[in-house]
Structure 1
């Protein structure tokens, strides 16, 4: 589904990502972990088109998409969420989810201005689909609520619903459990499993190691922008270099 080859990104003299290579197979849950400043979010921003690589390639479904704009990647089936919530607080929850469908809708200006029957049918279908996605992620009770009235944990899942509205082949989740309590983290873990079971490939950046180890088919460990280790949860958990990076060499 996704193949990263010798990917690097520099900001002046800062080498945020250095010669990173890894792949994500279709249908898998893959995770990227590492200490603070390891380059995880920079890697996500490269894959999702926010940054252009200095060197290297990003192959998505057989096509080199390195440097491609985020909207072009979304049309090809790549969606993401963000570490810091990107929810429109001045809109209703369901309207936030509907925004995720905009690339698939008829955007004819005159048809919309005249509120033609085809446009009304399309809007109704889009709203019904958004309601189903809200139920899928577990926030169906907020259907008619303003986003500003929702608790933080529910907003995290609302953002996932919006990403799913684009019907992605792969979903990039940037720290979906950040700021959540134990119960909310468990709900996010269950939701990620549901997403994968629905046939959507997942690439995850997360600090919660219990969640990562419970979910991941494959894990990439970064440290100072470089690949430190790669493998299954059991392999990564037992790797001395990973232990040293997280706990210190003495530990």
Structure 2
């Protein structure tokens, strides 16, 4: 089951990146960091991009056909959210919040696939923690391009929060960790989970307090370091279930 969902995540995340680059290809030309992307640079035509998107969605949804009808339905409902996300930065300073809504959807799918229904005690804490985590890392990510974004008319939480960013993402971090603690308590997970959660909390604190929001390179490194936060939490869940 982990392998199947891992495979699905690769393809559906790829589809999200493709549709984002398709909608943003004219904006991306104006941003130093993104102007060399295939669609923005012209290396790939818009039509080719859409064909690749269709292939990614076909593979991603096809993987889920082996699961129950509820899981498949939830996956299909998720697709419009993937398409809508790139448009949010045109109409609101909170596109990162919409990304959190969209990218955390796997919490519902995993629960429905394993249990036959969306179990609140399992799905909700994971979804909420992922939502707040997304607000942390994607706000840091958005600070890479805030100068170019402002010129291009693109909105983001980085521009919305400005100098108060660290205060905002600190509270988002609190929400993320609190939801993970609550989720562990509700399902009575084992001690290794909380040990890993403590380590992950330290990693998140390090990110927030050491990130240089005026340095695109530093913001990029801090953003990428979230792979370690996720890996630590994932390991904690596995070990906590094995030794509960």
Calculate the TM-score normalised by the size of structure 1.
0.27
The structure whose residues are more often strand, as a share, is 1
Calculate the TM-score normalised by the size of structure 2.
0.28
The structure whose residues are more often helix, as a share, is 2
